[in-house]
Amino acid sequence: MTLCLLLVLVVLSALGYVMLVVFLDRLAFRAALGKISSVIAKHEKPLVRRRFQTVRCDQHGNVLFDDWTADINSFIAAVLKPRLTEAQWRAIERRRDSVVAVIEEHVARLSSREVEALESVAYPAEYDRYCAAEMREA
C-alpha cells in the first residue's frame, strides 16, 4: 500500500514538474512576443523598406519570400536576441517559424498602409507634397 502511494506521489510530482515547465515556456514566449511588437515598432520604417526591396514575383506570378525570410532571421538574431532573456530566447528558438510568420504579418500590415498612402496620391503635385513630407520626416 505504501509503495503504491509513493509511486502515485512520484508520478504526480513528475506530472506537476512537466506542467510547470510548459507553463513557464509559454509565459516566456508571450513575453517575447510583446517585446517583438515593441522592437518592430521601433524599426518599422527600415523593415517596411526592406520588405519592399526583397519580396518579389517570379515570371509565373508566384510571390517569392526567400530573401525577406532571410532578412527576418537576420533581424531576429541581430536585433531581437540581445533584447530577450535566456528563457525568452529558448522559447523563440523552439517556435522560430511562428515568430517569422508573426513578424512577416506585422510588417506586411505596415507595408499595406504605405501602399495605401502612395495610392492616394493621384496627381504629380500631390506626389511632390507626399515626397516632401516623407523627406522632412526622415
Which has the closest alpha carbon to 88: 20, 18, 26?
26
Mean pLDDT over the full length of the chain: 84
pTM beyond 0.75, yes or no: no
Beta strands 63-64 and 56-57, pairing class = antiparallel
Average of per-residue pLDDT across 51-57: 87
- Strands (DSSP E) contained in 13-128 are 56-57, 63-64
Lowest mean pLDDT among 56-60, 72-76, 101-105: 56-60
**In the chain, where are the structural domains located?**
2-137
> Model confidence over 31-44: pLDDT tens digits?
888 898 899 989 98
Distances (CA, A) of 86 to 25, 32, 101, 119, 124: 11, 10, 21, 43, 52
> Model confidence over 75-107: pLDDT tens digits?
999 999 999 999 899 898 988 999 999 899 988
